[in-house]
Amino acid sequence: MSLIIYLDGKFVPESEAKISVFDHGLLYGDGVFEGIRFYNNRVFRLDEHLQRLYDSAKAIRLEIPLDINEMEQAILETIRRNDLHYGYIRAVVTRGVGDLGLDPDKCSVASVFVIASSIVLYPDKYYQEGLEVVTAPTRRNIAEALNPRIKSLNYLNNILAKIEAKNANVIEAIMLSNDGHVVECTGDNIFIIKNRVLYTPPTYIGALEGVTRNATMELARDMGLEVIEALFNRYEVYLADECFLTGTAAEVIPVVKVDGRIIGDGKPGEISKELKKRFEVLTQTTGTPIYE
C-alpha cells in the first residue's frame, strides 16, 4: 500500500514525493529532522520533538516555512491520511533548492516533508536478552565543529560508527568524545546504573538531548532513584550494575555486554526492566491525540 506523504503543503502518493537534485539537504546534508513515535492514537511528546526541531533549525539559521502549530497539524494530518494508529514519523526540513555552491542564501525557500510509517530498530529478542555493543573507533563530533545537539541531516559521523559496529558483528556501538568520555551510541542515548544511581552523559559533551532520554530520567526519579548527568568513561561502563540505551525508535533496551565485558550478571537488570515497563505505560496513555 502506497503511503501518503506531506510535501511542501500538499499530500501526495509516495511515488510523487520527490525533491530536486539541487536541494541542499541532498547535496550537503543541510537541513534538520525529527523522528517521532505515536502509540494508541497519540503522538508521544510531540511538543518536545517540535521544539527540538525548531531549535535545530534556528541553530543553523534555517527558516522553516511553517510555524510550529502548522507543523503539528501537518504531522497529525499525515498520520490520519495513512489511517495509522501506531507508528513512526519522520519530519524533515531541508535548506531547499539552490545552486551547486555552499551558500545557503542561494536557497530561496526551505522544503518540508513528513513521512508516517512504521519502524523496527531491534528484534524483540534483544529486549528480552539484552544487546552486546562495542566501542567505535570513530569519535563523536566535537561541538565546535558540528554540534551533535543539532539534529541535522548530516549523520555521517553516526554512520561511520554504525559501520564499525557491524564490522564487529554487533548492531550498536558506543561513541566517545575526543578526550575519551562516553557520549552516546550511534542512534541512542546511554545510561548506566551503579548502586541504584542512574548516570547518563551530559549533553554538552556531544550527546543529543533525547526526548526518550528525558522521559526515562523522569520515570527514574519517580521510582526514587538518584539521576546524575556526569562524565564517565568505559571503565565505569564495564563495572556498572546495569546498562541500557534509550531512543525514539529503540525506546528502552538493555545492554548486557560491552567490548566483551559482561555487565552485571549478563542479563537485563531489574531497574532497566522496570523503566522499560513504565515507559511502555507512559507511551500508551499520554500524548497528543491524532483523531480527536
- Total domains in the chain come to 2
**Side-chain half-sphere exposure of 11, counting CA atoms within 13 A:** 14
Is residue 234, in this structure, part of any structural domain at all? yes
Catalytic residue among 106, 151, 257, 276: 151
Within 10 A of 113 (CB to CB), how many other CB atoms are there?
A: 21
Residues 150 and 264 grouped into a single domain: yes
Cell of 263: 555487565
Residues 223 and 138 grouped into a single domain: yes
Residue 125 CB-density burial (10 A; 0-12 exposed, 13-18 middle, 19+ buried): exposed
Residues 188 and 248 grouped into a single domain: yes
Dist CA 72 CA 65 (whole Å): 13
pLDDT tens for 130-158 read 999 999 999 999 988 999 999 999 999 99
151 is catalytic: yes
Residues 67 and 171 grouped into a single domain: no
Residues 189 and 235 grouped into a single domain: yes
Dist CA 181 CA 183 (whole Å): 6
Is residue 291, in this structure, part of any structural domain at all? no
Domain that holds residue 46: 4-117
- CATH number of the domain residue 276 falls in: 3.20.10.10
pLDDT tens for 231-282 read 999 999 999 999 999 999 999 999 999 999 999 999 999 999 999 999 999 9
- CATH number of the domain residue 91 falls in: 3.30.470.10
Q: What is the model's pTM?
A: 0.96
